[in-house]
Amino acid sequence: MINYKDYIISDYKIMLGKPIIKGTRITVELILKKLSEGVSIPLLIEMYPQLNTEQVHAALEYASNVVGNEEVLELA
C-alpha cells in the first residue's frame, strides 16, 4: 500500500497550498481531473513526464482518504 504522505505535500507558497506531488507543481486536483476525463495512467505520465505511477496512485490514495473522512450532513 502506498503512503500518500511520501509523495504529496501542501505548502501555501506553492499553488496556494493545494495538495501537490512533491518536487512539482502538479496538483492532486489536476491528476484526478485528467483521470476523470478518461486519460489513462500511462498517457498521464506521457503528458507529464515528471510523474510516475506511484505518484498517481498516491494522489488517488490521498483523494480516497479525504473523501473517506468527510462528514456527511443530512439535509432535511
Cell of 73: 450532513
Q: Which pLDDT score is estimated for 76?
A: 65
Right CATH for 4-67 from 1.10.10.60, 1.10.10.10, 3.10.129.10, 1.10.800.10: 1.10.10.10
- Residue-wise pLDDT for 11-63, tens only, equals 999 999 999 999 999 999 999 999 999 999 999 999 999 999 999 999 999 99
- At 59-76, the pLDDT tens digits run 999 999 998 887 777 776
Q: How far is CA 32 from CA 26, 51, 53, 57, 76, in A?
A: 11, 13, 13, 10, 31
SS3 call for 21: strand
Q: Residue 1 above 90 pLDDT?
A: no
The domains of the chain are located at: 4-67
pTM: 0.88
